Structure 1
């Protein structure tokens, strides 16, 4: 099932500058054992420049992507079985998603930024297997766990597994459930910064932005308690007024 051919472009992982490393997105269905990968064409340099920006946004409609459609069209497909991650790394620098509210480091095996950045870079090269080296294209890939090892699978590979960073499904804080927001962390050596925006995979859309804070409605019992308390206060005030 591994995608290949001139229509597919590899993730940029060559060179020694932040402008030559690209962010990749992966989604994994733990039932169908399919891994969807997408080269977003966003460089590490882009992300560093916008780490604190509240206006920097990304919005990708996946509905016209044949590989995404293939993933979501399998008979067993259920979003509740899907998790996703976004990552880019070079030297001792990296960006990686985390479950909302978690902090870094929360890696399964690699405990340093340099180690994780290396694993991310190596995994990107595994995703690139069978893809054309063309930085002008940003296309996707779909592989199965049963495809040749080391071709970009979420849960199987040649020692540079996503497992080393975010674990198998349900295994790590960096694997985020479909429909849930992901914090985006920037680590440079021992310095760790949470980006202003968050990622969200929902429906057929992947987006990054500063999401509005959701207003949590108060339960009806709270409103009833408040109304009752106000009534008691009014009654007490009337009682004291009569007494006077």
Structure 2
């Protein structure tokens, strides 16, 4: 028997109220107020294996301060397995993604949408409307359903999968099986922007893009991985004294030029 969405939401809330532990990472479709937790996904297309890590940060927690720097050191046994099969020059792609799938009230618009890394800061093509955004999030939910990484919100576990195993994330490509109209995952050594596809407040439907102030970076050093999110430094305005000095200098140069011409 297939549960309706309403019954499913009730079941999830009941489990949360009873203190029952989740059997996986919190999915976008769980109808929770804080959204999903972000997921790090790493694929070695050459060695045909993949690694995932539940970062333990929900959409709501991220939105509280999108400029806050984040840092993760990857050295667990699953990453050791990934690193052991990695050779410099392998075709490796990585990215971070998550989302908030509830869109019932106007207040939901503050969080609703798909959050993902992007190879370019402002993709020229994005999901056109809320159903398309939800379709992309559905692909993310499919991916998450096969990686049993979460048994409690505070226990941020990982997976290592090889080709042919359920949870091998390479099958979703770098654009969630083309559901996302831009490239979300980038190669090693590439800094990735972080963006959000959301619905327009005017019609509750039209797709819009938000670009966050930080960039994600990932590196493999031996058998340890380093994942960071760092906000780009804000432009520092020049002190007023500098502008006054510049204006004064230009005045002196003009006066000198007029004197030279007069002579």
Quote the Cα distance in structure 2 between the aligned partners of 1:118 and 1:36: 20
- 2:158 is matched with 140
- 2:42 is matched with 27
Alignment equivalent of 1:210, drawn from 225, 231, 234: 231
Mapping of 1:215-226 within 5 angstroms?
none
Matched, 1:68 2:79: yes
Change (3 A) 1:162 1:90: farther
- 1:11 is matched with 25
Report the alpha carbon displacement of residue 73 of structure 1 after superposing the two structures with TM.
Answer: 1.2
In structure 2, the gaps of 5 or more residues are: 1-21, 102-111, 200-206, 235-259
Mapping of 1:1-244 within 5 angstroms?
10-13=24-27, 15-51=30-66, 53=67, 56-62=68-74, 64-74=75-85, 77-78=87-88, 80-91=90-101, 93-103=113-123, 105=125, 112-128=132-148, 131=149, 133-147=151-165, 151-156=166-171, 161-162=172-173, 165=176, 173-189=183-199, 190-203=207-220, 204-211=225-232
User: Alignment partner of 1:101: what SS?
Assistant: coil
The CA deviation string for residues 183-202 of structure 1, in whole angstroms up to 9 with x for no partner, is 00012122310011010111
Contact 1:36 1:143 in 2 (8 A): yes
Quote the Cα distance in structure 1 between the aligned partners of 2:30 and 2:196: 20
Contact 2:150 2:157 in 1 (8 A): no
Contact 2:121 2:194 in 1 (8 A): no
Quote the Cα distance in structure 2 between the aligned partners of 1:166 and 1:181: 22
The CA deviation string for residues 1-31 of structure 1, in whole angstroms up to 9 with x for no partner, is xxxxxxx973112631242511101110011
In structure 1, the gaps of 5 or more residues are: 1-7, 214-240
Instruction: Report the number of matched residues.
Output: 189
Point out the structure with the larger helix share.
Answer: 2
Contact 2:35 2:99 in 1 (8 A): no
- Using structure 1 for the length normalisation, give the TM-score: 0.67
Quote the Cα distance in structure 2 between the aligned partners of 1:134 and 1:31: 33
Report the alpha carbon displacement of residue 102 of structure 1 after superposing the two structures with TM.
Answer: 4.3
- Using structure 2 for the length normalisation, give the TM-score: 0.63
Kindly report the root-mean-square deviation, in angstroms, between the aligned alpha carbons of the 2 structures: 3.0
Quote the Cα distance in structure 2 between the aligned partners of 1:192 and 1:28: 26
- 1:220 is matched with none
User: Alignment partner of 1:73: what SS?
Assistant: helix
